[in-house]
Amino acid sequence: MSGEQQLSGPDLTQGVSLTEIGASGCLLGHAGGEPVLLVRVGDEVFAIAAHCTHYGGPLAEGLLVGDTVRCPWHHACFSLRSGEALRAPALNPVARYRVERQGDRVTVGEKLAPATSPVSFGDAATATGPGPESVVIVGAGAAGNAAAQRLRREGYAGPITLVGADDSAPYDRPNISKDYLAGNAPEEWIPLHPRELYDERRIELRLGTRVTAIDPRRRTVTLDGGATLAWGALLLATGAEPVRLDLPGGGLPHVHYLRTLADSRAIIARVEALRAAAAASAASATASPSGVPRAVVLGGSFIGLEVAASLRARQLEVTVVDLEEVPLARAMGREIGAFVRSLHEEHGVAFRLGQRAVAIDPEAVTLASGERLPAGLVVIGVGVRPSLALAEAAGLAVDRGVLVDEYLQTSAPGIYAAGDIARWPDPHTGERLRVEHWVVAERQGQTAAANILGRRERFDAAPFFWSQHYDVQISYVGHAPGKDVEVRVAGSLAGRDAAVTFSAGGRVRAVATVFRDRLSLEAELALERGDQAALAAMKEPAPEEKH
């Protein structure tokens, strides 16, 4: 989960010349036994910890934008001045260090205390600026948690209640289909924050609790059981729910969906039971002739394929069934879809494409073709749909998502929406978008929090997500749905070194990269700035790729 943090470069406590900070504007070194990044911005020099607080990405390989640095792995952004995590997915600051200059000599001193909120959490007497009497957040996932944390970071001192149907405190949802499910991430990596942090920041967690109704006029929400909560501002972050297949046998105990941490744990428990039975040489129609447990994944979605990779890491035989002829083609184009399929086939995953399941029994999945696929575990991942029932019942404007303005406010005053349910006016495409990306949800939660406090901060981030398949990460920035999209590959997908551009209406709308992390950051910045010249240049092969 975290990057290697070996020491390299000069000992910055001994001092370096300004000329040693290269053309990139940064120098990787160390101080006090820890990796430190020295950054020059004009006449100023800053020193911060060299690794992202999200997954440990190397900030020295990131992108400097003004007095910030962006992480190359998952596009978190940090202030060089304060170390503050300005943009998700990082939620915690990086350490900063004292810098001393004598002429053109720069020396890094002691680690500085972290920058903190201007108020003591919960101290209403010292609150800065206006704010509602209280904030209730419905949904304790990516958007809801990010909103609660930013409210406190911005100095809001009123009551915050985070209501979540999930029994677990906010956790790293992307990991439950990736490293955690694969067995490479221990349980302690999964929570986004220590539980005591919520107590420290006076964020009330009401977990395992559902909101059953919203009253916009009275400004209350009703909880299951009948209790009500009053709110001065309300954030809806109810997320999405898995699309469930109506199949004979779909409710059998070995059939699973993956949306929550509990779902991931249940799949792991089933895998362990199958492996224990195999180790005991228990005869089973659901195992291969050599005794290896078999699994079938229904759906070639991102979740479905990440589950397939994780189950292969646990040494199961895996078959993926999908209606599409090329997995992920609708989301990322046929070129990337074919590449991802080849990655999985290299790792032993079998595919049944252009096919559908018609029944599940305790021993197998039956396809419409009549083929029976033995399976002791079935995982269904055919997509999700936004959880809109609360918004619809409350009379909010809804159109395939909760409609919000550029400040993420709904049609009802004081009610905001963020994450998988929000359909917002995207300034980069001129269209209303609703996307189901973790980073987008977190960033929208942060923006909604700012606007609850009256900041009038537009949500204008270019959508970003990543998908992990074995040792290959695909990073995607922008949004380019639809059929009339021109796809161009620069580099080589097979060689695992490529940039793929998606264009529509004569404009580059999105860029996907494989092992070109810096270029992915540059594409994000170009999309934010509307720099089509820079984006168009990404459609062409690099000089070394031309023949």
Q: Find out whether 375 and 294 touch, Cβ atoms under 8 Å.
A: yes
Q: What is the pLDDT of residues 497-545, one digit of tens each?
A: 999 999 998 999 999 999 999 999 999 999 999 999 999 999 877 666 6
pTM: 0.93
Sign of CA dihedral 35, 39, 45, 46: negative
| Arithmetic mean of pLDDT, 241-264 | 96
Percentage of the chain beyond pLDDT 90 is 85
Q: Give pLDDT, residue 114.
A: 75
Which pLDDT belongs to residue 544? 63
Q: How do residues 273-298 score in pLDDT, each as one tens digit?
A: 999 988 887 566 777 776 789 999 99
Give the C-alpha distances (Å, rounded to integers) separating 274 from 251, 259, 270, 470, 529.
Answer: 19, 22, 6, 22, 52
Which pLDDT value is given to residue 466?
94
Mean pLDDT rounded to a whole number for the chain = 92
List Cβ<8 Å contacts ≥24 apart for 11-19: 12/36, 12/38, 12/47, 12/106, 12/107, 12/108, 13/107, 13/108, 13/109, 14/107, 15/105, 15/106, 15/107, 16/105, 16/106, 16/107, 17/104, 17/105, 17/106, 18/45, 18/104, 18/105, 18/106, 19/104
Q: 362-374: b or e for each residue (b if 16 or more CB lie within 10 Å)?
A: eebbbbeeeeebb
By mean pLDDT, which of 100-109, 202-211, 310-319 is the weakest? 100-109
Q: pLDDT category, 113, cuts 50, 70, 90?
A: confident
According to the model, what pLDDT value does residue 123 have?
A: 43
Q: List the end-to-end C-alpha distance of the chain, in Å, as a whole number.
A: 38
341-395, pLDDT tens digit by residue?
Answer: 999 999 999 999 999 999 999 999 999 999 999 999 999 999 999 999 999 999 9
Which residues are CB-neighbours of 435 under 8 A, at least 6 positions away?
420, 463, 465, 479
Q: DSSP string of 437-496? A: -HHHHHHHHHHHHHHHTT------PPPEEEEEETTEEEEEEE---SSS-EEEEEEETTTT
Average pLDDT in the 196-220 region? Answer: 97
pLDDT at 290: 67
Cβ neighbors of 427 (< 8 A, separation 6 or more) are: 406, 458, 460
How large is the average pLDDT for residues 402-415? 98
The pLDDT value given to residue 126: 40
The b/e string for 254-276 (b: 16+ C-beta within 10 A; e otherwise) is bbbbbbbbebbeebbebbeebbe
Residue 282: predicted pLDDT = 57
Q: How confident is the model at residue 439 (pLDDT cuts 50, 70, 90)?
A: very high
Sign of CA dihedral 353, 357, 358, 362: positive
DSSP string, 482-546: SSS-EEEEEEETTTTEEEEEEEETTEEEEEEEES-HHHHHHHHHHHHHT-HHHHHHTTSPPGGG-
Whole-number Å distance between alpha carbons of 243 and 240: 9
For residue 302, give Cα distances in angstroms to 139, 385, 500.
Answer: 23, 15, 18
Band (pLDDT 50/70/90 cuts) for residue 484 is confident
